[in-house]
Structure 1
Amino acid sequence: MRPARALIDLDALRHNYRLAQRLGGGRALAVVKADAYGHGAVRCAAALQDDADGFAVAFLEEALALREAGIRAPILLLEGFLAADELPLLAEHALWTVVHAPWQVEALARANPAQPLDVWLKLDSGMHRVGIDAGDYAATWQRLRAMPQVGRLVKMTHFARADEPGQNRTREQLDAFDAATAGLPGETSLCNSPALLGWPEARGDWARAGLMLYGVSPFAGDPATRPAHPPLRPVMTLESRVIAVRDLPAGEPVGYGGIFVSERPTRVGVVAMGYADGYPQFAATGTPVAVDGRPGRLIGRVSMDMLTVDLSDHAGAGVGSRVELWGSEVAAGDVVAHSHTSAYRLLCGVKRVPLQYRDTALRG
């Protein structure tokens, strides 16, 4: 069997979720959209169901998959309902919905759900993607509050640049949120992962923990300039093994395009892992890996099914040696820094490799 796999540490997932709860000072939704950022939404939600105050997904189909798997905790649709005919299903499955557009308000007004729907009314505080305009927010809130179709009504917004330390846009969005919601009672939801980790003044009643849940910092760049926060535990370890070794003299190219040329006699290890598995195709030579637990480096261009690593300084390594691409030995953020990508894309891009789960809570 091909040795490439992604190991998912569910104990680490719970650790990171509990950290999000503590940092937020209230309740936290575990964001498991996009198949839990590539980690497997059903298994991750099941591992968190005794801890989580609720879950968040992008759209209805993702929520229904969790309900069909037996997840009974609250689930919020972050994109809201996408058509009025979805509203009966929201009521049937006790799903919460974001409302971010006037047409959704009108659809609710015409609906006759079997039970009132919990609504999270989203303000466009400056991201300008979706959300109710600031000048219309108070009137929209009052209208929804008066509707028998609406149960709990939560005020929310989303930050565009909270992952940029020192950038003033988050402060501006906070001020816009405070102004637009002044005098409106009820719960609030402000913090995504970077806001939880880097903006302690941006607290509300409900946090929304996404990337941090999976043990990856949302902050890029020089570690010395990143906001200090408690350590996260990596949840995914992407690994494979060396399947072939080549000994090359100095001056020989390796892989497609010959972008790496050996400067000395070089032992090249061929690893069963490629961009079809989700490893970044354009990761640069020098991207860190770990070979049998020791630091190593990628060399040459990543192929669809294979990549190459430098074994010259790994005398004991050879066919069968374990290679970690990211996880506890190689930080995913370090791979990102060498790959012209983002942590979000890195994790969500994992595919084809089997997911294998570790969970000490299920032992003994």
Structure 2
Amino acid sequence: MSRPTKATINLSALRHNLQFARSITGTKVIGVIKADAYGHGSIPIAQVLEEQKIECLAVACIEEAIVLREAGVQSPILLLEGFYGAAELPIMEHYDLFAVIQQQEQIDILNQWKGKPFKVWLKIDTGMHRIGFLPSEFPSAYKQLKESENVSQIVLMTHFACADEPEKPTTIDQIDLFAQTIEGKAEETCSSNSAGILHWPEANGNWVRPGLLLYGSSPFTTPHPLADRLKPVMEVTSQIFAIRKLGAGVPIGYGQTYVTDHPCTVGVVAMGYADGYPRHAPSGSPVLVNGQRTRILGRISMDMMTIDLTHLPNTKIGDTVMLWGDNLPATEVAHHAGTISYELFCNLKRVPIHYLGEAVSESEQTKYQPVSISPT
């Protein structure tokens, strides 16, 4: 018998979340599937989104895009970090990719290009202060791209720093600054990430960029009427493989950080930080045993964790433990561990993934022949 830890990906939930995003925005959708679709598997996720006729996919870098193209994915693909050097432009042309333009050096490289013109997404820094042109730099960048023979189309975009914190005024300030910066420009726009889609409808523009939303996890730390309608795509489960009866005053686990204050029953679960469960999740973090809530006791080990079964006397070896999924949101688990659900999903490893939902028809044979990326 193999180790029982597994992740189950519900493709029907993915479809639901995409349709929900479309229903509340009425815009074109860019499905963000960078970082292996947030740990969900970029190829099967892309195939489902393509089956649903998504208008565009987005990845971080050209290597992630090549994986999709060579698997037969035909949808438009946007490189969110753009290109890093001139050597990537022929690769972009070969695989038919779009790029974000976020600094002058990229424009300079693009102006030297001798191939087919590219559709580009011009990023404006309205407050994230990570990448993008400042509003004062935008007129020059925009003019250069408009006049370039190597640019076929421009989409204007920005990114919100605090959209997942609705109580802050930052997002309204960014929305207003973006509108002021691009005033009079006829190009399509793209602003909203998942939190923007759910809470800031005035920012939607022509395109929206759901990432976490697609995977059914709320970007907010408190209940939200729209986020609460999402369906979790990933469910991570394992099993109890040992049960111990311990008396009062007994320390549990590395560092003996938890000491029993009464006689208790402890279950040992095949899940640890080597599987991606956060080591810093404290005692009291929730899990479900056969659908019933209980808590972690002691420090997370590399391959296992200990949980409280005292109030669950009928539990036996082999019973199912849910780490996150339906009825136990990844956002809640992440909050206990002092992190975010994005990190839970992306850190998952050594865990077999199983896909549920109507099978996706196989993609047609890819028209893209593999090429290598030359050093810049």
Q: Is the TM value for this pair above 0.5?
A: yes
Alignment-mate amino acid for residue 244 of structure 1: A
Q: Percent identity?
A: 45
Are 1:56 and 2:54 an aligned pair? no
CA deviation vs aligned residue, 1:162-203 (integer Å, no higher than 9, x gap) = 111121111111111111111111110000001001111111
Are 1:6 and 2:7 an aligned pair? yes
Alignment check: 8 A CA contact 2:47 2:360 kept: no
SS of residue matched to 1:330: coil
> What does residue 69 of structure 1 align with?
71
CA distance in 2 between partners of 1:22 and 1:189 (Å): 17
CA distance in 2 between partners of 1:180 and 1:286 (Å): 48
> What does residue 26 of structure 1 align with?
27
RMSD: 1.3
CA distance in 2 between partners of 1:107 and 1:296 (Å): 56
CA distance in 2 between partners of 1:210 and 1:280 (Å): 21
- Which of residues 314, 317, 342 in structure 1 aligns to 2:315? 317
Are 1:130 and 2:131 an aligned pair? yes
Alignment-mate amino acid for residue 15 of structure 1: H
- Which of residues 253, 256, 259 in structure 1 aligns to 2:254? 256
CA distance in 2 between partners of 1:205 and 1:88 (Å): 29
Alignment check: 8 A CA contact 2:51 2:360 kept: no
Are 1:305 and 2:307 an aligned pair? no
CA distance in 2 between partners of 1:351 and 1:85 (Å): 32
Are 1:148 and 2:142 an aligned pair? no
Alignment-mate amino acid for residue 278 of structure 1: G
CA distance in 1 between partners of 2:165 and 2:225 (Å): 9
CA distance in 2 between partners of 1:169 and 1:157 (Å): 13
Alignment check: 8 A CA contact 1:198 1:227 kept: no
Q: How does 1:195-344 map to 2 (within 5 A)?
A: 195-220=196-221, 222-223=222-223, 226=224, 228-229=226-227, 231-344=229-342
Are 1:176 and 2:174 an aligned pair? no
> What does residue 93 of structure 1 align with?
95
After superposition, the Cα gap between the structure-2 partners of 1:256 and 1:59, relative to the gap in structure 1 and judged at 3 Å, is same
Q: How many residues align?
A: 359
CA distance in 1 between partners of 2:94 and 2:235 (Å): 38
- Provide TM-score, normalisation by structure 2: 0.93
The structural deviation recorded for 1:142 is: 2.2
Alignment-mate amino acid for residue 283 of structure 1: A
Alignment check: 8 A CA contact 1:26 1:207 kept: yes
Alignment check: 8 A CA contact 2:102 2:124 kept: yes
SS of residue matched to 1:247: strand
Q: Which runs of 5+ in 2 are unaligned?
A: 362-376
The structural deviation recorded for 1:148 is: 1.7
The structural deviation recorded for 1:68 is: 0.5
CA distance in 2 between partners of 1:27 and 1:321 (Å): 44
Alignment-mate amino acid for residue 210 of structure 1: G
Alignment check: 8 A CA contact 1:3 1:272 kept: yes
CA deviation vs aligned residue, 1:116-157 (integer Å, no higher than 9, x gap) = 211000001111111012112123212212212111210000
Q: How does 1:105-120 map to 2 (within 5 A)?
A: 105-113=107-115, 115-120=116-121
The structural deviation recorded for 1:57 is: 0.2
Alignment-mate amino acid for residue 187 of structure 1: E
CA distance in 1 between partners of 2:137 and 2:25 (Å): 28
> What does residue 371 of structure 2 align with?
none
CA deviation vs aligned residue, 1:54-100 (integer Å, no higher than 9, x gap) = 10000000000000110000000000001111011111111010000
Alignment check: 8 A CA contact 1:138 1:184 kept: no
- Which of residues 356, 359, 363 in structure 1 aligns to 2:357? 359
Alignment check: 8 A CA contact 2:155 2:187 kept: yes
CA distance in 1 between partners of 2:345 and 2:84 (Å): 26
Are 1:83 and 2:81 an aligned pair? no
Alignment-mate amino acid for residue 298 of structure 2: G
CA distance in 2 between partners of 1:152 and 1:191 (Å): 20
Alignment-mate amino acid for residue 156 of structure 1: M
CA distance in 2 between partners of 1:362 and 1:138 (Å): 45
Alignment-mate amino acid for residue 219 of structure 2: P
Stretch moving more, 252-261 or 56-65: 252-261
CA distance in 2 between partners of 1:201 and 1:362 (Å): 35
CA distance in 2 between partners of 1:281 and 1:229 (Å): 27
After superposition, the Cα gap between the structure-2 partners of 1:61 and 1:171, relative to the gap in structure 1 and judged at 3 Å, is same
Stretch moving more, 228-237 or 184-193: 228-237
CA distance in 1 between partners of 2:174 and 2:306 (Å): 45
SS of residue matched to 1:134: coil
- Provide TM-score, normalisation by structure 1: 0.96
